[in-house]
Structure 1
């Protein structure tokens, strides 16, 4: 997918999620994907999956990621993620490997991040 196509797809996905009410389901079908999203205050977490994926497990994973962010950033907000995007990516990389969930223990992820911070590998 070209960058232009990817940008257009991201825009469509975000618009679809923003249009929905709080009482609507957290699952949307878009093109050949299922979108699983969750809103936490001003933060939206959106995951696109194929038809074979369990949507409820993805929703649970999103919640686990948010809890991990919340513990690390101490009450995470949009600015925490924006100004520390490398830390957010690191947390996601620790929790996922090659598109699959590999770690759901928040304390293990946070300990690895703290060790990385102490080593000065920010």
Structure 2
């Protein structure tokens, strides 16, 4: 985290770290970091981080740090809807959020 948080704003959001690439984005005081294979398309993961944050924002209605801390299982649910076996599965925000709302209704 020290490498990511100390990175200058005018640098790219991609870093080579050991045998992988770190792709990260900052939203207010939150950093979202993905460790991806060195051969993966870092721009695709940059966009999927943005999709993840958009889903969080739509689902929680202006997401904040407390939502992430106290409802961590919902982050996992969103990640499960977007990723399957570490690969990007779903790229539609409306599909992800609608599925989560369906799961909430079933509870």
TM over 0.5: yes
Match of 1:57 in 2: 44
In the TM superposition, what is the alpha-carbon distance from 1:111 to its structure 2 partner?
1.1
The answer to whether the aligner puts 1:31 opposite 2:18 as a matched pair is yes
Runs of 4+ in structure 1 over 2 Å off? none
Match of 2:28 in 1: 41
Aligned length: 107
Unaligned runs of 5+ in 1: 1-13
Larger Rg over CA atoms:
1
Match of 1:113 in 2: 100
Match of 1:17 in 2: 4
> So what's the TM-score if we normalise by structure 2?
0.96
**Aligned partners of 2:64, 2:9: CA distance in 1, in Å?**
19
**Aligned partners of 1:25, 1:106: CA distance in 2, in Å?**
25
Unaligned runs of 5+ in 2: none
Structure possessing the higher relative contact order (Cα contacts under 8 Å, 6 or more residues apart): 2
- Deviation digits for residues 65-85 of structure 1 (CA, Å, limit 9, x no counterpart): 111111001111111111110
Matches within 5 A, 1:77-88: 77-88=64-75
Matches within 5 A, 1:91-102: 91-102=78-89
**Aligned partners of 2:29, 2:71: CA distance in 1, in Å?**
16
